[in-house]
A and B are shown apart, each in its own frame.
Chain A
Amino acid sequence: MKFEYILFCFSIIFSFSSSSLGKDEDRLFYDAVRAEASGDLDQAITFYLQASKLSHSSNLHGNLANLYFKKEQFGHSILHFRKALLLQPNNKQLSANLDFAHEMAKTPPISKNLASSYFSGNTLSFWCVFCVLIFWTGLLLLIYLFFFRANKIPLLYCTLGWFLVGGVVGYATRLSFIANSELSREVIAFLPSEENNQSKTISLRRFAGEKNSANTTLLPGQSLIIDLGKDGMNKTHRSPEGKNWYLARSKDGKKKGWILEDEFGWLIDPKSNS
């Protein structure tokens, strides 16, 4: 009887604590939806951003991206669509919205060729599991053939097959790993102010300095990969004014330069990676 009473108390405490999780972000989310419904887009964006500091959800970033799109801030819109897609990769509506946002921003959309979809960062776990399966299955088969079968010809064939399949799967895993690594360093460029001027561009400077001449320019919504330093960390520079600069290049490698921290948004917050 005593044991049952203790169990009941524990279950009450557990259910209370689990229901209290996400309470604040839920409230902020619903406040944002209400503000959007009443036509106050700026207030809705503020609520969504506050919620996103507490926690993340695909719907939150999708709604936020929609609002930015309506305010014609395409850079922010693309950034949040990408975040929403990271949380819900198979959502076709988000993909369609992102494509349209890219079209409006006149920026190239995410390439959807065979290689990028099968060896993307999202597929890394799949390739890892597949690679492990091939390794252990092949190894066990070889041990069996070597010790328990007198005929050595199957052993020869299995060894060759194992190396071949293992090599292919290993390569796929490596591609996926690189893509994942780039994804963790991918940023989306946007205009730091709330101006909606579509003709405005973002400069990639030759050196980490605001008055420095631009190497090249970007449109809001274009994606960049932050370069790695020799220590394997993101290549950054802190200016005397206290501003953080990052060395970034476009995915195709054609554009490269220093970009200010305020001029881009991380797809994946580097703090969560560390």
Chain B
Amino acid sequence: MGINHLRIPNYFSLKLWVFLFFTTSTLFFTKEVKGQKLRVESSFQPPSITISNNSVYKIVIHGSQENPQGSLPQIPGLSISNSPQTFRSASFINGVPSVRLEMSFQIKPKKLGTHTIPSWPIQVGSNNLQVPPCSIQVVAPNQQDKIKQEIEGKQEQDLRQASFIEFINPREFLFEGETVSGLLNLFIWDRLPVSRIERPPQKEGDAFSLTELRQPQEKRNQTKFNKTYTVFSWPTGLTAAIAGQQTIQFNTSIRVRVKSRGNSPFASPFFNDPFFGFGREESLTVKSDSINIEVKALPMVDRPDSFQGAIGIFSCRSVSDSDRVSLGDPVRLIFEIEGKGNFSAMPAPLLNSGNNFKIGPPAFSFEGNEITMYEGKQSFEYILTPLKAGLVSIPAISFSYFDPIQEKYFTSKTRAHPLRVDPGETWVDPTPIKQQLKTSTYSIPTTDLFQTENEPGEWVQDVKTHIILDSKIFWSVQTFPFFFACGLGFYGWKRKQSGRDLFRQKQANLKKQMKESITFKDPSLFFRATRERLRLEIGTFYKYPNPSSLSSHELTQLLQNGSNTESTISEIQKILSISDDHEFAGTLKDTQSLDDLYKHINKLLKQIQ
């Protein structure tokens, strides 16, 4: 503790002496310079340069170290930096204390010749001083300067081509409010050590509005200017906001790794550095060229009343979700606009329905590229509530737009939608309700109801339905069947009286006997009836007066007189012989069954000619 206690006063005393020296000196100078006269000097260093070199415009204020205030004049042929270097100094000159302030401005010449910065006022504290005029001579560049300029130009071009923004605009000019779909491409040279893109491109200028830029599309190995690039593309919608000749430019910033060494063969720190990966990162601003676009105002001639700012090429339609509702039930009407244009600046069209509907605010929805909002389908959904029953009509919607290609206004109109509004529920007797429901389900849609016919159709004298009973033709026609029936009856009666009927009766009786004999297996009765039938039918056929008296021989002769075949005649002879044998001899030589024989006889009798 005692040692420390001793050392502290020594240390303290050294610092104290230094402090006292500076304080005293400063007070001395300050006190002394108050008597020094203020004056200003100006000069160029060097006073003569080539156009590719820089000079320094130096202002020296003697007698004060306070910051001066003033405005440096601008000279057309010179570029003067706004951030001067300031140097303050104090000295004893021949034992007299002196203070001064030096300000150095970097000067870059723009053109050849002698350039003079005229005298200009400056204020130092409460004193106003005049900076004296000063001239610099800019002479023509020498060979070295030219080489240097070329190298710098190449570096600048290389730097510009290392990364740049390109905006692809599909249109030469735009109309005020028109939206076009453009593409922003950021080209990054593959040799440029970019670590990341700090932000998407931004536009400069207020004459256009740009849709939001989202994630870019990346394309590699794109060749341009004999260099290979990676291209990042942002599709965007560009909308012209102000009419006139407008300029738009885009910029972005990318993060690049640069080498740490300062003695690059080029002034640019990016290139030819094989160790760039170990360098530091810097932000680099990338800009596009300025793009001049003419924005025309929309024509006022022939502008429709329903035009609300839609510019593009569109088609529209409306859809109703129902054509029949009950009173008070809502109906949804969807109005769709499809095409290309400024969907983002498109308000909902007005729907005028009079007193028939209550209409709510429409809901918006867009199908398509939501980034650019340029191409797709915009839907407006209206909810309409009918206020009265009956057949009402959802009105047509007029939509007007300006076609920027044809430079004309167009108006598109949707069709009206007929709507059947039922009066609503009322109590009625339940029995007829079933009937009503059954009858009201018809297939014709409401849209087809109550259509006006344009042609009168067939005219008739009366609405009366014509009954056939009133027709004289009908009653006249009845005479035909009447007379026919009378005639038929009379003919039948007469016929019944004649022998033909007798013949038919006998024939029917003999057939009946033959059938009965077959049933009771009575051959004698069968052959007796057979022989009688043959006599009757052959004799009647050949109009023999008394057929029942014909013998077998006479029957054969009658058959031979006709045009019968030999086989028919012999078959009938055979049957007659069997019948005779059976009747007179009581024997049955043929073993043929009676049923088959009956059929055979019927067949033979039909063959008689």
Contacts and interface: CB of A to CB of B under 8 A. Distances in A.
Interface in A217-237: none
A268 B391 CA distance: 28
A33 to B, nearest CB: 6
A128 B468 contact: yes
A215 interface: no
A147 B488 CA distance: 9
Contacts of A108: 432, 435-436
A136 interface: yes
A92 interface: yes
Interface in A86-103: 86-87, 92-93, 95-97, 99-100, 103
Given A69-B391, A93-B451, A150-B508, A269 B464 contact: yes
B439 A136 contact: no
Contact of B496 (A106, A144, A147, A267): A147
Given A25-B456, A103-B422, A56 B463 contact: yes
Contacts of A132: 478
Interface string A20-59: 0110011001100100100000000000000100011111
A203 interface: no
Contacts of A148: 492, 495
Contact of B464 (A21, A111, A143, A273): A273
Main secondary structure of the interface of B (DSSP, over half): mixed
B347 interface: no
Interface stretch (B65-73, B287-295, B442-450): B442-450
B454 interface: yes
A73 interface: no
A199 interface: no
Nearest to A183: B465
B390 A72 contact: yes
A184 B464 contact: yes
A2 interface: no
Interface string A63-107: 100100110100000000001001100001101110110011010
B448 to A, nearest CB: 6
Contact of B463 (A30, A70, A83, A95): A83
Contacts of B450: 66, 69-70, 97
B442 A92 contact: yes
A132 B468 CA distance: 11
Given A60-B456, A112-B439, A122 B465 contact: yes
A22 B484 contact: no
Interface string B415-452: 00000101100100000100110111011100011111
Nearest to A273: B464
Main secondary structure of the interface of A (DSSP, over half): helix
B505 A150 contact: yes
Contacts of B452: 33, 36, 63, 66
B520 interface: no
A51 B474 CA distance: 32
A59 B453 contact: yes
B438 to A, nearest CB: 8
Nearest to B496: A147
A140 B485 contact: yes
A129 interface: yes
A139 B485 contact: yes
A121 B462 CA distance: 16
Given A59-B456, A95-B442, A104-B389, A268 B492 contact: no
Contacts of B464: 184, 268-269, 272-273
Interface string A165-188: 000000000000000100110000
A60 B389 CA distance: 26
A244 B391 CA distance: 36
A99 B493 contact: no
A124 interface: yes
A81 to B, nearest CB: 10
Q: Which 3 A-B pairs have the closest CB atoms?
A: A147-B492, A59-B453, A136-B481
Interface of A: 21-22, 25-26, 29-30, 33, 36, 51, 55-63, 66, 69-70, 72, 83, 86-87, 92-93, 95-97, 99-100, 103-104, 106, 108-112, 121-122, 124-125, 128-129, 132, 136, 139-140, 143-144, 146-148, 150, 180, 183-184, 267-269, 272-273
23 contacts: A22-B456, A58-B457, A58-B458, A59-B455, A66-B450, A69-B391, A69-B450, A70-B391, A86-B463, A86-B465, A92-B444, A93-B451, A96-B442, A109-B435, A111-B439, A124-B469, A125-B466, A125-B468, A150-B505, A150-B508, A183-B465, A268-B463, A268-B464
Interface of B: 389-391, 420, 422-423, 426, 432, 435-436, 438-440, 442-444, 448-469, 474, 478, 481, 484-485, 488-489, 491-493, 495-496, 504-505, 508
Given A143-B485, A150-B505, 17 more contacts: A30-B456, A59-B457, A63-B452, A70-B450, A86-B463, A92-B442, A92-B443, A100-B391, A103-B436, A104-B423, A109-B440, A111-B435, A124-B467, A125-B469, A128-B474, A148-B492, A184-B464
